[in-house]
Every structure is written in C-alpha cells, then in structure tokens.
Amino acid sequence: MKALLIVDIQNDFCPGGALAVPHGDEVIEPTNALLSEFDCVVQTQDWHPSDHLSFASNHTEKEPYETIEMEYGEQVLWPDHCVQGTTGADFHPDLKTIPSQLIIRKGFRKHIDSYSAFFENDHKTVTGLHGYLQARNVNEIYITGLATDFCVKWTALDARKLGYAVHVVEDAVRGINMNGSVDAAFDEMKTSGVNIVQSKQLRG
Ligand code: VGL
Ligand code: ZN
C-alpha cells in the first residue's frame, strides 16, 4: 500500500510568510493533482509554541540562520514561524486538505525541533507516524511539500531508515537553500536510496 505524505504546506513557508521558501506555493498545484491517486493521504504541520528554542528570538544576541548547539547537536535558528494557532501555521488556503486522513503535528516541544515526520531532531522521540503507517500496511511513501532541504529531506531519510520505499516528487517540493543545501539534500536522499520522480509520471 502506498501513501502520499504532504510536508508542511503552511502559510509561513509560502511567499509572504515568516519563513518563506522561494516559490513555495508552486508545490500546491502538483500536490492537489496527486491526491486522487492515493488511498492513504497524510499531512504534516509544523506547530511551535511561541517560546520554541528553534526561534532566534528566544535567544539573546542571536540572529535567524545562525546556529547553536542543542543537547542533540547543531540547530539552525529560525525566524518565528508556524506558531500554534496563528494564520502562519495554517495550511495554505489553496491546498486541498479535505482528503487528508491524518495530520501529524511536530515541533511542539519547546526544547526540541522536529524536521522529520517520523522522529524529532534528537532522532529518538517518535511522532507516531511509523506506527500509523505500519497499521495501515503502508510500505511505499511519496513525498511532496516544504522544505526540500529540511523537513522533506529528513522525512525521506528517516523513511528509508525505517525500511519504506521512498519517492520524492521533484516538481512538488521546494527548498530554503542555504549554501547549496538543496543540491546537497538531493544527493543525500539519492545516496540513501530515495527515488526522485515527477508528478506527471504518477498521474493516471
Ligand atoms: C522547516 C525549518 C524550520 C521545514 C520547519 O518545514 O522544512 N524548516 N521548521
Ligand atoms: Zn519549524
């Protein structure tokens, strides 16, 4: 059984948002077009408390995009984004969310960021998604959404580690791109066995 996993298509990651991914809204149309091809559709939602420690504003003398050491390793500091209950955290209004069967919220623990849909950034704390997918006999995952070089990449790598067949839909993802991080993300994903596909190949 295959699943479509739609990562973080939220206002704050789209143009005009607090952590806008360049051309982030371009992932919406190809994602919507794929919905009818899947019997299992899951979305993720970045969902931070306002005192989240991934926000530069919650550290003294730190600017967005600087890094700090957290207990689990290096952490990029971000502009405040996807704060629980705000419009920025809402899904983009053009994304068709009605077919989604499960919404996984992540990043809600103050002390730990969560890029992957499976594990938080300590690579230990689980989101529950793996249990859900196992219970539904999913063994193959197609990923769309934002951002290629953070949440999409970590979701794809963890899915491979957990044994899923993983496809990233290239025309339905966009990246933040810090120092070539989008190209590096595609390299890392391919090396781990992620298959790169185009949405038109999947539309029946
Ligand atoms: C993301 C940075 C911080 C993402 C989430 O969705 O890729 N990136 N929070
Ligand atoms: Zn975040």
> Does ligand 1 come within 6 angstroms of the Cβ of 38?
no
With CA atoms as reference, report the closest residue to 110 among 54, 72, 167.
54
In the prediction, which pLDDT does 105 show? 98
Beta carbon of 156 within 6 Å of any ligand 1 atom: no
Catalytic residues, by residue number, are 8, 106, 151
Q: How far is the CA of 204 from the centre of ligand 2 (A)?
A: 34
Predicted TM-score (pTM) of the model is 0.98
Mean pLDDT of the chain: 97
Question: What are the tens digits of pLDDT across the range 24-79?
Answer: 999 999 999 999 999 999 999 999 999 999 999 999 999 999 999 999 999 999 99
- Position 204 scores a pLDDT of 78
Give the mean model confidence (pLDDT) for residues 10-30. Answer: 98
Ligand 1 atom 2: the closest Cα is on which residue? Answer: 150
17 band by pLDDT with thresholds 50, 70 and 90: very high
Q: Which residues surround ligand 2, an ion (CB under 5 A)?
A: 46, 107
Mind spelling out the 3-state secondary structure of the chain?
CEEEEEECCEHHHCCCCCCCCCCHHHHHHHHHHHHHHCCEEEEEEECECCCCCCEHHHCCCCCCCCEEEECCEEEECECCCCECCCHHHCECCCCCCCCCCEEEEECCCCCCCCCCCCECCCCCCECCHHHHHHHCCCCEEEEEEECHHHHHHHHHHHHHHCCCEEEEEEEEEECCCCCCHHHHHHHHHHHCCCEEECHHHHCC
What pLDDT does 83 receive? 98
CA 146 to ligand 1 centroid distance, Å = 7
pLDDT at 203: 87
Q: Is 83 in the pocket of ligand 1 (CB under 6 A)?
A: no
| CATH no., domain 2-46+89-201 | 3.40.50.850
Q: Please give the distance, rounded to the nearest whole angstrom, from the Cα atom of residue 131 to the centre of ligand 1.
A: 23
pLDDT at 131: 98
Any atom of ligand 1 within 6 Å of the Cβ of 9: no
Q: Locate the domains of the chain by residue range.
A: 2-46+89-201
| Mean per-residue pLDDT, 105-132 | 97
As a whole number, mean pLDDT of residues 108-129 equals 97
Please tell me the distance from the alpha carbon of residue 119 to that of residue 187, in angstroms, as a whole number. Answer: 21
Q: For residue 21, how far is its CA from the centre of ligand 1 (angstroms)?
A: 9
Residue 122 has pLDDT above 90, yes or no: yes
Model pLDDT for residues 135-177, shown as the tens digit of each residue: 999 999 999 999 999 999 999 999 999 999 999 999 999 999 9
